[in-house]
Structure 1
Amino acid sequence: MKKLTGSLIALVAYLMFVQPVFAQSENNALVPLPSLEDFTRGEDGWAFGLGLGIEYESAYEGSDEFGFELDPAGAIQWRRGDNIFYFAGEALGWRGLRAETWLFEVTLGFDEGRQESDSKKGRLDGLGDADEGFELVLQTKKAFSNDWRYWLDGRIITGDDGNLGLFGVGRRFGDQRDGTGSDIALAVLFHDRKYANKDFGINAAQAAASGLAETNMSGGFRSVGLHYNYRKYITKNWQIFGEVLYEHYGSDVRRSPIARKNFEGEVGIGFLYVF
């Protein structure tokens, strides 16, 4: 896996400095998908977006508890042609458009891990706090046409806690080229043994401390996910955005005592000011 990751990083580094075949039209988003923030208005240079969102979501992976959470929104972006470099919260990344229908992206993000206190009902007592760490995300999207009406998505998330793979298909609604409107994506997720045990495994010490059955997860199919995004300018500078996320776990995940629900869900809405 390390060799594969190294090769993918080298490929992305190469693509970052290859001149794109086609340039974006003025005022167009790099890619007209509402699920990808673009505050540049089609212009080179710095761009900023700042806002706040509220989410109603699962307390942790497999939780039967839900609650509201306030999250900052927005990003600092710098664009040059068909490349955008960005810093968004705990993620630092680059995305680049090639030949109008290929999007490549690499992101270094931070995984806060799971805390025992995430469960207000004591569901995680005895399991301990999961380690925090960095994750590398490598992603490619391939559109069927340059209007990005339909696209394919491939993604690898890799780190010290294992690897997660995603393969999906999406559709964009509306004809806007400024990154507003809505889109929806359906994806199938796979994880290796290490990543599966990070979220749903219970070792002998945790079993003794928590009273839950010892569980050793295997790799393979994880879940099927559905993700809907909406974004709209309500004034020249103010945006409203929203999303709905649903992930339905496979039978192997559902056998873990940690998975008290067979799904994870999230609904969010927020506002952004684009400078």
Structure 2
Amino acid sequence: MRKLKLITIIVMAMIALNLTAAHAEEVAPLFPLPFTPDFTRGSGWGIALGLGVEYETAYAGSDEYEFELDPAGAIQWRKGNHLFSWEGLELSWTTRQKDQWYIQVELGLDDGRDEDDSDDGRLDGLDERDDEFTGSGEVRYAFDGEWRNYIGTRISVGGSDFGTLGFIFAGHRFGSRQDGGGTEAILYATFADSDNLNRDFGISPSEATTSGLAETDLDSGYRSSGLRVVDRRFVSEHIQIVSGLELEYYSSDVRDSPIAREDFAAEVELAILYHF
């Protein structure tokens, strides 16, 4: 996975150094949301590159936390109300319809889990979980054209090793600025099928034998609830600082799994971007 991230940042840097495109007169972003950046300045190509640091759990359910450095930014192309984006290991198409509808289709890679993700040996005897390609669809509806408040849903689907994961959420954008800066908060709940829940929290009979943990087979249903806050600041015409905080509280079924060493997960992130 780290090799893929390194390849991604190298390729993005090469494109940023070699791609030349004239920017149109700067106009409002596709959405004035800090969580959904538009680097195109209204149309054509847009590029932002940088570096981010995250402090997060070592794996889903872990009580171990670690720092991780990741490339940040995206390569985008916009035409009218359509935005195509390559961000990290994700490709997406996003469109704004009738001012109040957000529609996105995305292809991405869901991180797996290795036994050595736990320095304390919590995963000893458990099978590895491979990285899995997923397809996602997301729809949001804003209660006004300024996107101060909205509701939405997102569904991600993969093979049987990933299953299906769904979100329902409500978002609020603080302040009145329309350039994509400011602060945004999202309250959400997640639901998953048995394949997805057991990918992170299940323990098969063979794993129970080798690990000594209790066999765990989770049914489809409610997975978690959480809050995500994102803040985007424009230091200059080209420099942006993005910070984020996420708290996720697991359902009672998930908390009963021996893999869930904590009832919640927390993540803090900070990134500095150069907008070309």
Instruction: Report the TM-score, using the length of structure 2 for normalisation.
Output: 0.89
Distance 1:268 1:174 in 2: 22
Aligned partner of residue 128 in structure 2, secondary structure: coil
| Aligned residue in 2 for 1:194 | 195
Q: What is the CA distance between 1:112 and its match in structure 2?
A: 2.6
Distance 2:232 2:176 in 1: 13
Q: What is the CA distance between 1:177 and its match in structure 2?
A: 1.2
Aligned partner of residue 206 in structure 1, secondary structure: helix
| Aligned residue in 2 for 1:172 | 173
- Give unpaired runs (5+ residues) of structure 1: 1-24
CA contact (8 A) 1:156 1:165 kept: yes
Q: Find out whether 1:32 has 2:46 as its counterpart.
A: no
1:46-61 mapped onto 2 (5 Å cutoff):
46-61=45-60
Q: Find out whether 1:94 has 2:93 as its counterpart.
A: yes
CA contact (8 A) 1:49 1:272 kept: yes
| Aligned residue in 2 for 1:261 | 262
Distance 1:163 1:142 in 2: 22
| Aligned residue in 2 for 1:18 | none
1:42-191 mapped onto 2 (5 Å cutoff):
42=42, 44-160=43-159, 161-191=162-192
Distance 2:143 2:176 in 1: 15
Aligned partner of residue 196 in structure 1, secondary structure: helix
Task: Report the AA paired with residue 85 of structure 2.
Answer: Y
Q: Find out whether 1:226 has 2:237 as its counterpart.
A: no
Distance 2:52 2:237 in 1: 19
Distance 2:237 2:84 in 1: 23
Q: What is the CA distance between 1:27 and its match in structure 2?
A: 1.7
Aligned partner of residue 195 in structure 1, secondary structure: helix
Cα offsets for 1:245-274 (capped at 9, x unmatched):
111001010000000001111001110000
Task: Report the AA paired with residue 206 of structure 2.
Answer: A
CA contact (8 A) 1:201 1:217 kept: yes
Q: What is the CA distance between 1:219 and its match in structure 2?
A: 0.8
Task: Report the AA paired with residue 113 of structure 1.
Answer: G
Identity %: 47
Cα offsets for 1:13-50 (capped at 9, x unmatched):
xxxxxxxxxxxx952110000011211122x1110000
Distance 1:37 1:70 in 2: 20
CA contact (8 A) 1:41 1:178 kept: no
Task: Report the AA paired with residue 29 of structure 1.
Answer: P
Q: What is the CA distance between 1:117 and its match in structure 2?
A: 1.0
- Give unpaired runs (5+ residues) of structure 2: 1-24
Q: What is the CA distance between 1:165 and its match in structure 2?
A: 0.7
Runs ≥4 residues deviating over 2 A: none
- Cα RMSD, aligned residues only: 1.0
